[in-house]
Amino acid sequence: MRIDLTGRTILITGASGGIGKAVAEQLANAGATIALHYNQQKQTAEKLAAEIGNNSSAFKADLADEKEVINLFEAVIDHYQNVDGLINNAGIAIPSSPGKDDRLWLKDWHATLEVNLNATALLCKKAIAHFLPKQEGRIVNITSRAAFRGDTPEFLAYAASKGGLVSLTRSIARGYGKSGIKAFNIAPGFARTDMAQGFMDLYGEQIALDDIALKELTAPRDIAPMIALLISGLADHATGCTIDINAGSYVH
> Which helix (H) or strand (E) element contains residue 21?
helix 18-29
The alpha carbon dihedral of 194, 195, 199, 205 has a sign of negative
* pLDDT at res. 218: 87
Contact by Cβ (8 Å): 213, 190: no
* pLDDT at res. 199: 65
80 among known catalytic residues = no
Model confidence pTM above 0.85: yes
Q: Could you tell me the fold of the domain covering 9-243?
A: Rossmann fold (3.40.50)
Active-site choice (158, 176, 203, 250): 158
Q: Whole-angstrom Cα distance, residue 15 to residue 39?
A: 9
Q: Whole-angstrom Cα distance, residue 165 to residue 147?
A: 8
In terms of DSSP bridges, do strands 33-38 and 57-60 run parallel, antiparallel, or are they unpaired? parallel
CA distances, 23 to each of 12, 195, 251 (Å): 8, 16, 24
Residues of the chain with pLDDT under 70: 192-200, 202-203
* pLDDT at res. 206: 77
* pLDDT at res. 189: 84
